[in-house]
Amino acid sequence: MDSMAELKSCNEWYPFIVMIAVDFSFAVVNILLKKVLDDGMNHLVLITFRLSISTIFLAPIGYFWESFSTKIACRNSRPKLTPRILCYLFCIAIVGASLTQYFFLLGIQYTSATFACAFINMVPVTTFIMALPFRIETVNLRSNSGRGKILGSVICVGGALLLTLYKGRPLFKHPHSYAMAPTVSNAVKLSSSRRAERWTIGCLALIVGTLLWSSWFIIQSYVGRRYPCQFSSTAIMSFFGAIQSAALSLLINRDLSMWALKGKAEIITVLYAGMIGSGLSFVGMAWCVKKRGPVFTAAFSPLVQIMAAMFDIPILHEQLNLGSLLGSIVVIVGLYVLLWGKNREMQNCISKIAQQAKEIREQEAQLPVITVSCDSSCHESK
């Protein structure tokens, strides 16, 4: 019994470990993307290469691993890939791969990296609000779990606003800094009206990107139930996303010279972002959505910015300000409160199910038992 309890406890911690690993990989991807984008690599070309590498990497893994899992589970065949599932995968490729990345990169270009990260921190709250009409999430304000989820969401929003609106004094002094020099220099050269127009476009792009990214968690929760093959579904999603981003890139700019990779940095970025960032990380998120739901998975999004700062400061010599530190602490507190509410809700649900099962067993035990004697009926017939 003790070993079973320990195994159950370990299984409960697996989604936490997977999401922390996913956020760590996303933080590394953001550092690499920042480097190659500052060097002039086209956004849509990068997205297309990234998703293409993800497709090539995941397709054979998905085929052999899921075929092996089907044999282990003693199933006759894999889940059917119906046209309806393909339509859903095409949609989540739009909201989770191609257009989402494009709008976020556009928002970073027209506003600032800090402002864009604040919108990413809003993803858990947006996902929570979007999940309510579909009854994927429920809130009971009379219970501690419901109040905890609401309070955690509000605290996350407060931390995101603090990160954006309050800069504070610098905590470290670096002789060199790579603090978005191209974006800042271009913004200075523009007129005030033009800067305001670009800022508005950037804000709209970030709002659309946040809504699309939150929608991915909602749709993925449905796809994960209908087609529980995370490797295959992610490979198909990456394939659709690569086609969509390539078509969008050729529609905007038909210069074929931008498709040539220049230098080792771009090659390493494309390979790592494709295999890990858009490959295994999306598989891990799809698995967590299936196990714990979309809000739980989205709640870890703010950790990407905090982990990225761990690389920015010592490696890229980015400046850490007091506002960023305080905002990160508030975001972590809000994340903890939100996850506490989710965990409390799950425990209450398990307790209710166990109580209902106990009541059913007690009712079955109280039912009268009717026995029929075969001998008496035989004597009467004689």
- Provide the 10 A C-beta neighbour count for residue 331: 26
CA atoms within 13 A on the CB side of 76: 1
Q: What is the largest CA-CA distance in the chain?
A: 112
The answer to whether position 8 is within a domain reads no
* Both structure tokens of 206: 């970030």
Instruction: Report how far residue 281's alpha carbon sits from residue 289's, in angstroms, rounded to the nearest whole number.
Output: 12
CB 265 within 8 A of CB 44: no
Helix (H, G, I), strand (E, B) or coil at 248: helix
CB 292 within 8 A of CB 341: no
Amino acid at 144: N
The pLDDT, as a whole number, for residue 153 is 80
The answer to whether position 9 is within a domain reads no
Instruction: Report how far residue 308's alpha carbon sits from residue 338's, in angstroms, rounded to the nearest whole number.
Output: 22
The answer to whether position 2 is within a domain reads no
User: To which residue do tokens 């309890």 refer?
Assistant: 5
Q: Give pLDDT tens digits along the chain (382 positions).
A: 444 445 455 567 788 888 888 888 888 887 787 778 778 888 889 899 999 999 999 999 888 887 777 666 556 667 788 899 999 999 999 988 888 888 887 877 777 665 666 677 778 778 888 888 887 777 778 888 888 888 888 887 787 777 667 777 777 665 554 444 444 444 444 456 676 777 788 888 888 888 898 898 888 888 888 888 888 888 999 999 999 999 988 888 888 888 888 888 889 999 998 999 888 888 888 888 888 888 778 778 777 777 777 776 666 666 667 777 787 788 778 877 887 887 788 777 778 888 888 778 777 777 665 555 555 444 544 4
Rg of the Cα trace of the chain? 26
- Count of structural domains, the chain: 1
CB 237 within 8 A of CB 146: no
Instruction: Look up the pTM and report it.
Output: 0.72
Range of the domain at 86: 16-381
The answer to whether position 6 is within a domain reads no
* Both structure tokens of 135: 């009854």
The answer to whether position 5 is within a domain reads no
Q: Closest Cα partner for 116 from 205, 194, 211? A: 205
The answer to whether position 11 is within a domain reads no
Backbone φ and ψ for 215, nearest 5 degrees, come out as -65, -30
CB 62 within 8 A of CB 235: yes
The answer to whether position 377 is within a domain reads yes
The answer to whether position 301 is within a domain reads yes
Residues 205-229 as b or e (16 or more Cβ within 10 Å = b): bbebbbbbbbbbbbbbbbbbeebeb
